């Protein structure tokens, strides 16, 4: 499935989706964008990774942050189904260090990496997609036996040691 058609989205192949945040997104623009993404998540049938480029972002107020947070909570099951990971491009070494520290404390549901540039983000994202494709393929090819106990040895009867009753 091709990436959604939106000015904030670019892609070189179907498995790597690059989101480029504008300098001053409005809450309405953000809502329209997130609604488009929500529909797209549901059409995915194969692993993909996102590269979120926020180098041009000048401001992201509390209202915008709450819209993104709400979207992430609502879309979490659809996102998690095929997302291999997200690379976030931050140019400032100081902001990257802070972001990595926060991620170390809070963690992420799916792999997330803070990177310096698009090349580093693409390399990492491709590796994540390849890993998820390999794991998915392995899970599809290894089917469990119809009766999981069919190869199990018969139960062993244990003899109980007789203990004489104790005298008062």
Which of 12-16, 71-75, 87-91 is modeled with the greatest confidence? 87-91
Residue 158 DSSP symbol: P
pLDDT recorded at residue 164: 55
Q: Looking at residue 160, what DSSP letter applies?
A: P
Q: CA 76 from chain center: how many Å?
A: 9
Neighbours of 74 (CB within 10 A): 12
- Domain boundary assignment for the chain: 9-139
Query: Taking a C-beta distance cutoff of 8 angstroms, is the pair 84, 49 a contact?
Result: yes
Q: pLDDT tens digits, residue range 94-149?
A: 877 877 776 776 667 688 898 999 999 999 999 999 999 998 877 766 655 555 44
* pLDDT tens per residue across span 6-42: 899 988 788 999 999 888 888 899 999 999 998 888 8
Considering the segment(s) 9-139 as one domain, its CATH architecture is 2-Layer Sandwich (3.30)
Are residues 10 and 20 in contact, defined by beta-carbon separation less than 8 angstroms? Answer: yes
Picking from 25, 32, 31, the residue whose alpha carbon sits closest to that of residue 70 is 31
To which residue do tokens 């990436």 refer?
A: 3
Please tell me the predicted confidence (pLDDT) of residue 126.
95
88-107 per-residue burial string, b: 16 or more CB within 10 A, e: under 16: bbbeeeeebeeeeeeeeeee
Radius of gyration of the chain, Cα coordinates, nearest whole angstrom = 24
* pTM value surpassing 0.85: no
């Amino acid at each position: 499935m091709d990436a959604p058609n939106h000015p904030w989205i670019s892609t070189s192949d179907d498995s790597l989706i690059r989101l480029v945040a504008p300098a001053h997104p409005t809450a309405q623009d953000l809502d329209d964008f997130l609604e488009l993404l929500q529909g797209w998540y549901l059409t995915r049938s194969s692993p993909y990774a996102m590269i979120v480029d926020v180098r041009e972002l000048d401001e992201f107020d509390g209202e915008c942050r709450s819209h993104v947070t709400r979207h992430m909570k609502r879309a979490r099951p659809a996102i998690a189904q095929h997302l291999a990971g997200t690379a976030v491009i931050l140019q400032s070494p100081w902001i990257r260090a802070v972001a990595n520290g926060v991620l170390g404390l809070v963690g992420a549901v799916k792999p997330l990496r803070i990177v310096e540039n698009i090349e580093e983000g693409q390399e990492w994202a491709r590796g994540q997609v390849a890993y998820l494709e390999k794991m998915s393929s392995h899970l599809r090819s290894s089917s469990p036996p119809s009766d999981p106990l069919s190869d199990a040895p018969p139960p062993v009867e244990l003899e109980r040691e007789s203990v004489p009753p104790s005298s008062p």
